[in-house]
């Protein structure tokens, strides 16, 4: 009997070892040197990422091996780079990807700015990101070694400064579904509390935070509402979870599967008609361009406004409004004016509950009752790093390298009414 029991224990141990070994073999370590610190390395369409250290070294563990993976390298003042890893390459246990990040040069002076608009300029300390939090403009500012949070009113007048510990290397700011301001760093997320002095940074492990909160859009007294992208971001599903019963309820689906057929047709055509003399992009680069530029990701948008659910269904060109019990209240056709010029952005003013979108180089307000779009201000959204609307004002952020080599940044407010 003892021998049988011992044999069972041994078999159990071997099984556990086999499982653990199998899991370990299902991962690939990507490492290398980029020659620059604070480079953000992330797997596109996921929350998996890391940051290069002071000497430019980085390590990133990949858990997917059954499909091609795209790595995105980005850093302030440098050109973004995307590296594609094929499934065959991911069969290796480790992959060395090293290159030198190329500096980005574009003239910041070319952006026309009216003098009467409120503006805050970063100066020697670059503005990395900003967020609106309960009527306060939170600006993340730093120079690669030292960072701080600047708190400003809606006129961009700074009224307080919060230093950030040197061991925290912030990447961006975000506002979660509960309306809290979060400071995202290389490996942790810090919730910021500054209403009551002294201020505090409450840390949470980054991967755990995004796995639990990353898809959550907003909440009501009874439900948490989630958005999940799939099919490489070409499709989106919305659902909600009852806070009390934990029951999941599907809401809307934006199915972009037809785009995959169009992409496949374009790639077949490109394969049959290669560029002459080998000039032109490779098939893999052309596939990335077609997927990202010609067939943009799902732009479906679900919001809460005045105790109503507002769903922008761009597949059929409708705005649907319903109460919180999912009884449809109204539906109207969106007036894109020229759909080819429409850009897949929906901005919600959380103070006024108005909605906006971009058509060509103009920001338009959307009338939820008629679907009409009313031009408000001329702005090419692609020229700016971030835009948001609050209290009837458009806030824009721009940072980049000037023609003289200096890096400049600013946040500016444009009145919409």
Q: Residue 159 and residue 351: Cα distance in Å, rounded? A: 21
Ordered by start, the domain boundaries in the chain are 2-96, 108-415
Q: Residue 105 and residue 121: Cα distance in Å, rounded? A: 19
DSSP 212: H
> How does pLDDT run across 89-136, given as a tens digit for each residue?
777 888 888 888 877 654 333 333 344 578 888 777 889 999 998 889
Measuring CA to CA, which residue among 159, 111, 118 is closest to residue 393? 118
pLDDT at 194: 66
Annotate 358-378 with b (16+ C-beta within 10 A) or e (fewer): bbeebbbbbbbeebebeebee
pLDDT band, very low/low/confident/very high, at 12 (cuts 50, 70, 90): very low
CA distances from residue 278 to 274, 275, 283 in whole angstroms, order as listed: 8, 6, 11
pLDDT at 268: 78
> How does pLDDT run across 143-170, given as a tens digit for each residue?
777 899 999 999 899 888 888 888 888 8
Does domain 2-96 fall under CATH 2.60.40.1120? My reply is yes
Q: Residue 315 and residue 334: Cα distance in Å, rounded? A: 11
In the numeric block, the tokens 């990507």 are attached to 30
- Answer whether 233's CB lies under 8 Å from 295's CB: no
SS3 string of 337-388?
A: CCHHHEEEEEEEECCCCEEEEEECCEEEEECCCCCCEEEEEECCHHHCCEEE
Measuring CA to CA, which residue among 129, 160, 195 is closest to residue 409? 129
The DSSP bridge pattern shows strands 362-366 and 373-378 to be: antiparallel
Residue 39 buriedness (CB in 10 A; 0-12 / 13-18 / 19+): buried
Q: Residue 262 and residue 244: Cα distance in Å, rounded? A: 43
* 3-state SS, residue 149: strand
Q: Where are the beta strands (DSSP E) in 69-199?
A: 69-74, 81-85, 94-96, 119-121, 126-133, 136-142, 147-152, 158-163, 170-175, 181-185, 188-193
Stretch 341-359: mean pLDDT, rounded?
Answer: 88
Q: What CATH code would you report for 108-415?
A: 2.120.10
> How does pLDDT run across 178-232, given as a tens digit for each residue?
778 888 888 888 887 766 555 566 677 888 777 777 788 999 999 999 988 776 6
pTM assigned to the model = 0.66
- Answer whether 108's CB lies under 8 Å from 85's CB: no
């Amino acid at each position: 009997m003892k021998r049988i029991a011992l044999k069972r224990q041994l078999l159990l141990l071997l099984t556990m070892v086999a499982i653990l070994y199998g899991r370990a073999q299902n991962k690939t370590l990507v490492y290398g040197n980029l020659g620059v610190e604070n480079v953000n390395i992330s797997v596109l369409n996921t929350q998996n990422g890391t940051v290069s250290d002071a000497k430019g070294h980085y390590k990133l563990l990949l858990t997917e091996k059954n499909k091609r993976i795209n790595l995105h390298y980005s850093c302030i003042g440098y050109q973004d780079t995307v590296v594609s890893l094929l499934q065959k390459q991911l069969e290796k246990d480790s992959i060395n990807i090293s290159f030198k990040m190329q500096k980005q040069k574009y003239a910041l002076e070319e952006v026309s700015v009216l003098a009467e608009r409120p503006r805050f300029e970063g100066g020697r300390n670059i503005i990395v990101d900003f967020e609106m939090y309960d009527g306060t403009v939170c600006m993340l500012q730093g120079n690669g070694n030292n960072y701080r949070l600047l708190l400003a009113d809606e006129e961009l007048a700074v009224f307080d400064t919060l230093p950030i510990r040197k061991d925290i290397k912030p990447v961006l700011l975000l506002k979660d579904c509960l309306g809290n301001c979060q400071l995202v760093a290389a490996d942790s997320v810090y919730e910021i509390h500054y209403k009551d002095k002294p201020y505090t940074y409450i840390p949470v492990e980054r991967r755990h935070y995004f796995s639990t909160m990353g898809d959550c859009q907003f909440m009501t007294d009874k439900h948490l509402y989630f958005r999940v992208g799939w099919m490489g971001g070409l499709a989106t599903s919305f659902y909600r979870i009852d806070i009390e019963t934990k029951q999941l309820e599907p809401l809307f689906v934006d199915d972009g599967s037809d785009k995959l057929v169009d992409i496949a047709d374009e790639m077949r055509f490109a394969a049959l008609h290669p560029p002459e003399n080998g000039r032109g992009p490779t098939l893999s680069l052309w596939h990335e361009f077609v997927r990202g530029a010609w067939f943009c990701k799902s732009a479906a948008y679900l919001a809460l406004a005045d105790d109503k659910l507002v769903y922008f269904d761009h597949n059929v060109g409708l705005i649907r409004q319903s109460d919180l019990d999912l009884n449809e209240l109204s539906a109207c056709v969106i007036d894109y004016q020229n759909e080819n010029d429409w850009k897949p952005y929906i901005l919600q003013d959380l103070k006024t509950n108005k909605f906006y979108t971009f058509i060509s180089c103009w920001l338009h307000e959307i009338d939820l009752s008629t679907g009409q779009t009313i031009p408000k201000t001329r702005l090419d959204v692609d020229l700016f790093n971030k835009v948001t609307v609050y209290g009837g004002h458009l806030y824009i952020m721009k940072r980049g390298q000037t023609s003289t080599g200096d890096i400049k940044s600013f946040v500016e407010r444009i009145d919409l009414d």
